[in-house]
Amino acid sequence: MYQVIAENLEKEYRIYARPVDRLIEAIIRRPRHVALKVLRGVSFSLAKGECLGVIGDNGAGKSTLLKILAGTLTPSTGTLHIEGRVSALLELGAGFHPEFTGLQNIYLNASLQGFDASEIKDREGAIIEFAELGDFIHRPIKTYSSGMVMRLAFSIATTVDPDILIVDEALAVGDQHFQQKCVGRMTSFKEAGKTIIFCSHSMYLVGELCDKSIWLDNGVVRLQGDTSRVIAEYLADLEKRSNPARQESTSSNQPPRGSVAPEVVIEKVEVLGEQGLPVQYLEQFSRVEVKITTRCTGTSFKGHLGVGLVRPDGELVFASITKHMGLEPITFTGTQSARFIIPSMPLASGTYQVRVLVADEHTLRAVDELTTVPFIAVGKRPELGSMWIDHEWETPRASL
Amino acid sequence: MRLAHFAIHRPIFTAIRHGHLLKEFLVRDIKGRFAGSMAGTLWTIITPAANILVFIFIFSLVLRIKVTAGETGTDRFVLFFLSGMFPWMMFSDALMRSVGSLVDNSNLITRVVFPVDLLPLSAVLSATIVNGIGLGLFLAYLVVEGFFHPSWFLLILIMAAQFVFAWGLACALSAGCVFLRDTREMLGIVLMVWFYATPVIYPLSMVPKSFRAVIAHNPMGMFITLYRDVLLRHHIHMGLLVWTCALSVISYIVGVWFFSRSRSAFGDVL
């Protein structure tokens, strides 16, 4: 059974020329505004125990979506079905009274969430312990640092035992230690079969926590599905936008060809996935084949083949040339095909292109060159960096 | 007309179901005002006690105004004045506290889901409690002066009606203030005019005949007449009581209607 079902959520902010117009409209129900759509057609469903990541640029509508899910905003159209108690950590200091002590605020905040005194009393100790506030719990909130406020807010939101937890970019102000603690708590939430909706700019945290993700772009769902895939696409898009000029020059599918037909023409380059079929997404550690079809324009030509993996910004990640692998020169005649096989693709999430090159016997001259359309690698490992490198660890053991 | 959003009983039900939260709000409203001060909530007693003493001094020893026992039940102006002043303060304080109750708690409304109806209610309640302490002190003084009478228990009825009257206005004002912040400033002026249009510091007999009908039919004027009649003359004008109860119900219905119509937009505006 689904615990959260959102169908076609839309949010429209109404821009009024004068504040009083809003009041008049609310009463007589005739439009007196200019509409600004910040969310359009957002649909998704979440089963119990699933974690949904929400990613996207600033102003893409992430916070609006989370506020609608938490119930502090009403969607303009669309339906939202939520089962169970929701605890939301939307912004910092949610509902804290600056003059009251941390302890008094625990009571105020938890009763806002529908708890009565005896229930809070039972959890008081756990909340204080998790927040690591020590004696500060007896001082007014106004004396807290932003990290301390966040710790207390997160501690309350998660200790009240909700069925659905909504966290909006709150972990950003915490130190590394507390972030890890929060991630740990959220992970155990998931294991306990609770549903989490998490929004962050840290792709690492989203990748670590979320099964599914939604990428919001200008209020529209650009992509949703498997987290690693969504992150990969999002990162690819970021890269493309931060480097538009270089992207233009290298993504061209038209290989630079002279006016004279080369001796060997690269007809086609296909990137094949595990089933031997052309794919756009490649999972990390899966088998990848690059199938190169060449046609010799003359009777025969001796040369070498090269295959390179390039990032959209033109940086070469890896390249291999048959000559360097100790292979004899290839004799090209007629139409032939060659395969370049990667048994276990190590690339982390991102966009890549395959560049294929035919060179002469001495690899001094490029005869023909072709770059494929970009494909997307989908990382499977939480480790950072651009590729997986096999390794081992030897860590010091505690001496007795 | 969509009536789905408009449930007249809703604020009452929420108040009962979320009694605990209401209590937290009340504590916050009352204690929050005195947070960090040494005497704390003791101020809720000190302030009205000081008021009473000052008024007794002024009106008994300095400004020796007389009212007629025939009209008001006492010839001591200070008793006449205070028996109208405390109910008025209860009322005006309730409105002043509630008008900003949504705007001032915007950080709660936009971040936490909770029954928003409790905010104006808790403002009215806290005003009733804080000023109720003052009224209580005044009642104690009246007892000393020998005014006690069993009819005083009717006060509960009058106070309840006045509470509902203020509650309805508080709902409307707090919601109105979300959309039009000027409401708060406007209310200050309206209350000032309303105060002088209500026979609090003057008996009705001082008003020129042509204005008397207007002054007498002002809702707060009716409430205060009821208070004075019960406190000082130990009798109640039933017709007036029915009238004020009807006014309270109308105020409540209109206020709650307005509040529930506009509540879905609170999150957008705040």
pLDDT in tens, A45-64: 998 888 999 998 888 888 88
Q: Categorize the per-residue pLDDT at A31 as very low, low, confident or very high, splitting at 50, 70 and 90.
A: confident
Partner-chain contact B269 A22, CB within 8 Å = yes
Output the 3-class SS for B5-72. CCCCCHHHHHHHHCHHHHHHHHHHHHHHHHCCCCCHHHHHHHHHHHHHHHHHHHHHHHCCCECCHHHH
Q: Categorize the per-residue pLDDT at B256 as very low, low, confident or very high, splitting at 50, 70 and 90.
A: very high
The top-scoring range by mean pLDDT among A262-276, B64-78, B131-145 is B131-145
Alpha carbons B83 and B73: distance in angstroms, whole number: 11
Q: Categorize the per-residue pLDDT at A260 as very low, low, confident or very high, splitting at 50, 70 and 90.
A: low
- Interface check for A86 against chain B (CB to CB < 8 A): the answer is yes
Partner residue opposite B108 with nearest CB, options A95, A114, A140 = A95
Q: Categorize the per-residue pLDDT at B214 as very low, low, confident or very high, splitting at 50, 70 and 90.
A: confident
Alpha carbons A368 and B141: distance in angstroms, whole number: 106
- Summarised one tens digit per residue, pLDDT across range A219-253 is 899 998 888 788 878 877 877 776 654 444 333 44
pLDDT higher than threshold 70 for residue B212: yes
Structure confidence at residue A292 (pLDDT): 92
Taking alpha carbons only, the member of A4, A14, A90 closest to residue A42 is A4
- Summarised one tens digit per residue, pLDDT across range A111-166 is 887 777 788 888 888 888 888 888 888 888 888 888 888 888 888 888 888 889 98
Taking alpha carbons only, the member of A36, A321, A42 closest to residue A197 is A42
Query: Residue B56 corresponds to which tokens in the numbers above?
Result: 């007794």
Partner residue opposite B24 with nearest CB, options A23, A72, A107 = A107
Partner residue opposite B113 with nearest CB, options A23, A70, A99 = A70
Mean pLDDT calculated for residue range A303-317: 85
Least confident window among A235-239, A351-355, B131-135: A235-239
Share of chain B above pLDDT 70, in %: 97
Closest CA of chain A from B193, distance in Å? 24
Alpha carbons A210 and B54: distance in angstroms, whole number: 67
- Interface check for A373 against chain B (CB to CB < 8 A): the answer is no
Structure confidence at residue B165 (pLDDT): 96
Q: Categorize the per-residue pLDDT at B4 as very low, low, confident or very high, splitting at 50, 70 and 90.
A: very low
Query: Residue B188 corresponds to which tokens in the numbers above?
Result: 């200050």
pLDDT higher than threshold 90 for residue B247: yes
Q: Categorize the per-residue pLDDT at B59 as very low, low, confident or very high, splitting at 50, 70 and 90.
A: confident
Query: Residue A160 corresponds to which tokens in the numbers above?
Result: 């009240």
**Are A65 and A221 in contact, with CB atoms under 8 Å apart?**
no
CA dihedral for B255, B260, B265, B267, sign (positive or negative): positive
Partner-chain contact B111 A19, CB within 8 Å = no
- pTM for this entry: 0.71
Structure confidence at residue A247 (pLDDT): 40
- Interface check for A88 against chain B (CB to CB < 8 A): the answer is yes
Structure confidence at residue B38 (pLDDT): 77
Structure confidence at residue A252 (pLDDT): 41
pLDDT higher than threshold 90 for residue B163: yes
Structure confidence at residue A94 (pLDDT): 64
More confidently predicted of B119 and A237: B119
Alpha helix (H) residue ranges in chain A: 19-28, 62-70, 102-112, 117-131, 146-159, 176-191, 203-209, 227-242, 244-250
Structure confidence at residue A254 (pLDDT): 47
Taking alpha carbons only, the member of A287, A291, A342, A343 closest to residue A319 is A342
Partner-chain contact A73 B21, CB within 8 Å = no
Partner residue opposite B261 with nearest CB, options A27, A112, A117 = A27
Partner-chain contact B261 A72, CB within 8 Å = no
Structure confidence at residue A179 (pLDDT): 80
Taking alpha carbons only, the member of B250, B222, B251 closest to residue B237 is B222
- Interface check for A225 against chain B (CB to CB < 8 A): the answer is no
Instruction: Round the average pLDDT of chain B to a whole number and report it.
Output: 87
Mean pLDDT calculated for residue range A202-225: 86
- Interface check for A143 against chain B (CB to CB < 8 A): the answer is no
Alpha carbons B116 and B123: distance in angstroms, whole number: 12
**Are B258 and B171 in contact, with CB atoms under 8 Å apart?**
yes
What are the backbone dihedrals phi and psi of residue A126, each rounded to the nearest 5 degrees, phi first?
A: -65, -40
Q: Categorize the per-residue pLDDT at A353 as very low, low, confident or very high, splitting at 50, 70 and 90.
A: confident
Partner-chain contact A70 B107, CB within 8 Å = no
Compute and round to an integer the Cα radius of gyration of chain B.
Answer: 19
Compute and round to an integer the Cα radius of gyration of chain A.
Answer: 28
- Interface check for A107 against chain B (CB to CB < 8 A): the answer is yes
Structure confidence at residue A105 (pLDDT): 87
CA dihedral for A73, A74, A76, A81, sign (positive or negative): positive
Taking alpha carbons only, the member of A374, A353, A375, A372 closest to residue A281 is A375
Output the 3-class SS for A350-394. EEEEEEEEEEECCCCCEEEEEECCCEEEECCCCCCCCECCCCCCC
pLDDT higher than threshold 90 for residue A15: no
Mean pLDDT calculated for residue range B235-241: 89
Instruction: Round the average pLDDT of chain A to a whole number and report it.
Output: 82
Structure confidence at residue A400 (pLDDT): 61
Partner-chain contact A72 B112, CB within 8 Å = yes
Alpha carbons A274 and A288: distance in angstroms, whole number: 6
Closest CA of chain A from B127, distance in Å? 20
Partner residue opposite B267 with nearest CB, options A73, A100, A109 = A73
| Type of residue at B208 | P
Mean pLDDT calculated for residue range A376-387: 75
In chain B, what residues touch A14 (CB-CB under 8 Å)? 268
Angle B202-B204-B208 from CA coordinates, rounded to 5°: 100
Structure confidence at residue A253 (pLDDT): 43
- Interface check for A15 against chain B (CB to CB < 8 A): the answer is no
Strand-pair partners of A387: A347
Alpha carbons B193 and B269: distance in angstroms, whole number: 30
